[in-house]
Structure 1
Amino acid sequence: MIDIFVHSNISAEPRLDKLLTLSFTMSPSSLGTEQAIRAWGLNFQEPSKIIEDEDKQRIEYLFQLILSMGLAELVALQYARVIYYSRGGLFAQAVVPRFK
């Protein structure tokens, strides 16, 4: 989904608004595949690493988007993490987040 926004000519604020609207209005059933992959990653290293990398990429995108709106780096990073981890209760409570 991020690819749609990365290559968009829309400015940061409407892009963030659109991304949040899409993310928070997705049906729970649309998260099923991601939940299954995250559950698998709890017990196996390879999917766990892929999940970790994907989470970092998503948070980095949010961070850069928020940072481009003029917020300080620390604040932008905190907002990015809060937004990302609150999305769907971190995928409908499928996984306990791995904060680092």
Structure 2
Amino acid sequence: MQTLPWSVISSVNNAHVVALGDCAGIAGGDVWGMVLNTTAVNCKVENSAQYGGAGIGVGTAFNDGTIAHTTAVDCIVENTGEDGDAGIGLGKAVFFDMVATPQR
């Protein structure tokens, strides 16, 4: 499990992230904090865990973190696990107030 209190990401190109646990993300798997300015180009994020999260920004965000300014170009985000979530910005939110991020 990767826990990040703060992360600022500028750009990730040609990445393929596969979850070994229940969360997968370009900027982080499990995040308790803030992730800003993530840009992913030609990337893929995969998760197959039950109730897991997969995201271009983060897989799962906890406790009112901030995930903002996420951009994805030619990317695939998928979660094939039972009741799993996937998205651009974040895959799954736990006790979280969502901040809208642009989707491309």
TM-score of the two chains, using structure 1 as the length reference: 0.30
Larger Rg: 1
Structure whose residues are more often helix by fraction: 1
Structure with larger RCO (C-alpha < 8 A, sep 6+) = 1
TM-score of the two chains, using structure 2 as the length reference: 0.29
